[in-house]
Amino acid sequence: MKLTGPFLFILVTLMIDAIKTTTQLWIDQLAETHALPDEVRKDLTAMVDGLQTDLHRTLVEMPQVKATNAQLGEIEGTDLDV
């Protein structure tokens, strides 16, 4: 089965959401099981937030970077949209 278009987008979105939830839980679990200093927790939170931002940016930009001209014509805001 080949995943394309909306199905692939949904799958990637679900994966990113699972990564987001898991990484946020890691921070909470570490703080609960270890004496995690506030500075370390803030740094770890910033790293996880950065990862989430990068993943989201990739998800948003991917269709425009990997799309053909015909596909770009269907994406609002591109030079080729109709």
What ranges do the domains of the chain cover? 38-82
Reported as a pLDDT band with limits 50, 70 and 90, residue 9 is: confident
Q: What is the mean pLDDT of the chain?
A: 78
Nearest to 6 by CA among 77, 76, 71, 68: 71
Contact between residue 47 and residue 24 where contact means Cβ atoms under 8 Å apart: no
Tokens describing residue 40? 């370390």
pTM for this prediction:
0.60
Classify residue 68 as exposed, middle or buried by CB count within 10 Å of its CB (0-12, 13-18, 19+): exposed
pLDDT score for 11: 83
Reported as a pLDDT band with limits 50, 70 and 90, residue 55 is: confident
CA distance 59 to 16: 9
